[in-house]
Amino acid sequence: MKKLLTTAAALGLMASSTWAETVAVITPYLSQPGTQAYVEGFEAAAAEKGWDVNVIDTAGDVAAVISRLEDSVTQNVDAIVISVDPAQVNVGLLAAQEAGIPVVGMDAGSDPLIAANVTSNGYAMAAETSVYLANRIGGEGAVVMFVFDAFPPVQIRGVVADAIFGNFPDIEVLDRVTPDVSDGGIADSRAQMEAILAANPEPGSIAGVWAAWDQPALGALQAIEDAGRSDEGIVITGIDANPQARDAIAADGNFEASISQDFTGIGSTAADVVARLLAGEELRENVIYVPTELVTSANAAE
């Protein structure tokens, strides 16, 4: 009898030591520094929980996310994490729902088919940077906006900035640019800003650049510097405060402000949400915000 109990205990120990939850993390935006950071944050938190994590990058191909979702369902993963507009991958999310596999968004946008979306407060970030820019240019002048309406967390930033600038009768939105983000967004933003500068050659014809994330802000900065127009006082703001943006802000030039998102915190919080779902908890909230901070030359080096 004792031998049987010992054998059963050993088998139980083996089962507990070899079993691990499997989680698929799927995104088309892994080339973006912010996405990389919160995926890494998720992986670190998942490692502490003993999970097996498979990160799947579709390299800008949003449609391919549907196939990867369906593959993950077929592989019977325990949970799925996405960073993509849920509305664009509805078919894949339906497959996960039918299989009873919980899906959590990491800066993905809200949708009835995902249990929760963990993100920064895009409304607040856009309001803070657009008001900063409006105040810095004295409430007047032409502003260039860089937006990306195809991705809900970024789309809402543009909507809020539109509303803020619309409250200043002497601010004109000169152009609303959607850059190609396949390489991260810097190169095309630079090229488009070069064209805008060429079309508006007079000093003072452009007062500011508002970017919904840092890559377009950096591309615009490069274009302004290369055109020899840095001394015109064109004020640039971004969102994310990635390392390259922080360096540019610390240099005390045209790029003046960004918003620091806690990308690692988004990733680790998403992992905590997945853990709660796997434990059978019913979530009360479907949007979970992680705190942010305005970054200027005063704190960019911190």
Q: Which segments of 172-282 does DSSP mark as H helices, in order?
A: 186-199, 214-226, 243-250, 263-278
What HEC string does 134-187 produce?
HHHCCCEEEEEEECCCCCHHHHHHHHHHHHHHHCCCEEEEEEEECCCCCCCCHH
21-49, pLDDT tens digit by residue?
Answer: 999 999 999 988 889 999 999 999 999 99
Token pair recorded at residue 88? 């664009």
Per DSSP bridges, beta strands 52-57 and 79-82 are unpaired
The amino acid at 282: E
Integer CA distances (angstroms), 6 to 10, 11, 16, 17, 53, in order:
6, 9, 15, 16, 33
pLDDT value of residue 31: 87
Token pair recorded at residue 68? 């990867």
Backbone angles phi, psi at 84, to 5 degrees: -170, 160
- Give the residue, 9 or 290, on which the prediction is more confident: 290
pLDDT tops 90 at residue 110: no
2-120+263-290 with 122-260: one CATH topology?
yes
CATH no. for 2-120+263-290? 3.40.50.2300
- Residue spans per domain, the chain: 2-120+263-290, 122-260
pLDDT tops 60 at residue 83: yes
pLDDT value of residue 19: 59
pLDDT value of residue 4: 36
pLDDT tops 90 at residue 216: yes
Strand partners, 237: 210, 257
* Burial category of 62 from C-beta neighbours within 10 Å (exposed 0-12, middle 13-18, buried 19 and up): middle
Per DSSP bridges, beta strands 103-106 and 116-119 are parallel
Averaged pLDDT for residues 114-138 = 97
Length of the chain: 302
Mean of the per-residue pLDDT values of the chain: 92
Right CATH number for 122-260 from 3.20.20.80, 3.40.640.10, 3.40.50.2300, 3.40.50.720?
A: 3.40.50.2300
pLDDT tops 70 at residue 3: no
Share of the chain above pLDDT 70, in %: 94
Strands of the sheet containing 235-237, edge to edge, are 170-177, 140-146, 208-211, 235-237, 255-261, 292-295
Residues 7 and 12: their CA atoms lie apart, in Å, by 9
141-161, pLDDT tens digit by residue?
Answer: 999 999 999 888 899 999 999
